[in-house]
Structure 1
């Protein structure tokens, strides 16, 4: 089976992990801060806080911005459920902003309209979480303008987008947001096995996230509420969590980071191969990448707008029968049973639901061969031809 995505591990990665396994530190050692520094420098952010998953990063990012039971958080419905769950973890209410059909990203016009209506009802969001879907950054300039106008904070969910560029600057620099989140899951651009990171330029947010990831504990003498009892002394000042990244994971992440530019370049080359082969087929519509963006192409998604619901399902089943792991990213979050119990109903975001009925994710990852890609293209076109 040709997967839709997978990690690429080499001897340098293995050696980096082995070195840590043979050291005195397996966790809370020197590799985690080294990984944080390397990512912050890569992205030109002031601070980076490594954690055990992007979900954890989203959670502590919301908490650092004081999201609580009286607050509302908005995000995109076309994402993994973690983009919305993080608000619920804090006791806040969640809501969704529809997408632009041809990019899969949050629609700025829909956001503005929703903000106008919310202001009239005194129900503005405290935080908006745009999702850089498939590796393409959102329209952050206009989103930041709305954030300033309506007074909300911004957390970029860049789980798909390390290595991406927006206006010629690396995603993660937080030029238009308070916090930016990365994921290092194995199918992402680079991996630490499991893992995530929150970046920010605000020292107070960084320090709060650092405490929250480790039980809310500090031993910093400048932060203690009374003089230290001795070199062993620490205080729990927040109700935090065990969200720490291990040195083993950080060593792998550091090694992978050295190959980030190579990985993203290869992903763009693979995407160009698909684009070229689909350019004359109007029935296949790849997601559009905006001119001000350089996508990291975590996913390669096409839309098949002419297919019925049954044909869409049959397409994915056909690809899998041929050894191609066709997939759909994502089911609109609010259509999940848990969210339906919160009161959301089908029809809430029209473009998101249209997208869901049209989208197919095709294999794209470093190491995918031209022969494999051509096989994917031919089998997909064979299926579409069989419908006519």
Structure 2
């Protein structure tokens, strides 16, 4: 039986030149090894690595790349370290605006496993195409230590740099759920390094149905506006449709379109504009045969004290209008009512205290688990 490539991990890329300041800015590297840990889902006998220079202004050169299974900290599992090549070469040059996909690597993965990708940057490179909120510590050291069993006294880094994907080789028919969203999908509010995002919980729930899951969340992302990454409508084809094996889609976007404009002194969007954006994604997904779930927009009452301009009566009215459309439009195959799953019954415009990470916007670990349960119940087979 001919095997095929399937997306097993994704990290949606963001420009290092974002006009809006981010909590974790990007950076460049020079004579340094970067070791990054990622959770791969969906087992296979071989894998391939994706490195991106999508938002670079100059060509990117990576002198050496290796991969291995992870143990703890910066350590790799003995006997699993493997060299990664690109077109048979150890060094890879990635032109600005492009991505490099490695040759197949003979490293087997299981249904859920942590993988270490180590890259050596021998010459200076500009700020990297990256993912600001990795929620998984990376490790940085001087020189080429890509093959070291453990990096001694590394610098710890919070974002994920250049690494945008891992594919695994599997028999035909592997099905993949693409979780497409903002900071809630990205996992902001959950415990870093613990794999307790809603997508982590959901991946473990759907594995019995022979589904795996990739996380395409970007903190701060919007449906319609290119702020904190390209908009959902702009990046949909690149991030979702181009990922091999995707059969199911979860759309969780819109809260930032409602609330961030007032924080930044911009005019608010209308309900019709947002609805048109959702319909555009639904139509693209239908055209490509994806089974779709859309999530209602979650409560944010109380966020004003921490994020001025985020929470006001106009924003809440718009949230209610959009949620009513989501529940009744029929544009998507199913609705996951995260509003109902997370709200405080005594104050429905607010997150339930047991699910609030503390900023009145993002669910905590328990809230992420509740989100996963609501989506799992809605997700068609």
Answer with 1 or 2: which has the greater Rg: 1
Q: Normalising by the residue count of structure 2, what TM-score does the alignment of the two structures yield? A: 0.26
Q: Which protein is richer in strand relative to its size?
A: 2
More RCO (CA 8 Å, sep 6+)? 1
Instruction: Write 1 or 2 for the structure with the bigger share of helix.
Output: 1
